[in-house]
Structure 1
Amino acid sequence: MSGSTATQTAAAAQPGRPHKSLLAGAAIVGTLLVAVPFLVTGGSDDGKNRVARAGATPGTVLG
């Protein structure tokens, strides 16, 4: 049995198993679905609301 025949036989023996290219595409799409909301909500942060404060926060044990 040659290498290509063994590969064809393995593919024919497991018809319900997805191909590697399909799994790679699904991984890329899943990564995009997770990343896009973070990119959309975090894109408008200019740093205007950030103020450097020294000392303790009022209302805490230290303040």
Structure 2
Amino acid sequence: MWQRGLNWAAIILVGIFGVMWVGVVIYADHGSSVWMRIVQVVFGVTLLGWAVQKAVWMVMHGMKHHSG
């Protein structure tokens, strides 16, 4: 039970960090070159995508255990 809660906490933290990373890069980082900003946005979107993928997996995995 604790592990499941900690997994959700990690997923939420990574997702929030990904969104904040993209926001900082788009709105506050004007000193970097364009290609570096693009790389950083891709990194942030990758973090967000990972969090969404893991959240979907956790929901589906939980549904399999409760439907049986």
Query: Which range, TM-score by smaller chain?
Result: 0.3 to 0.5
TM-score w.r.t. length of structure 1: 0.41
Which protein shows a greater Rg?
A: 1
Higher relative contact order structure (alpha carbons within 8 Å, sequence separation ≥ 6): 2
TM-score by length of 2: 0.38
**Which structure: greater helix fraction?**
2
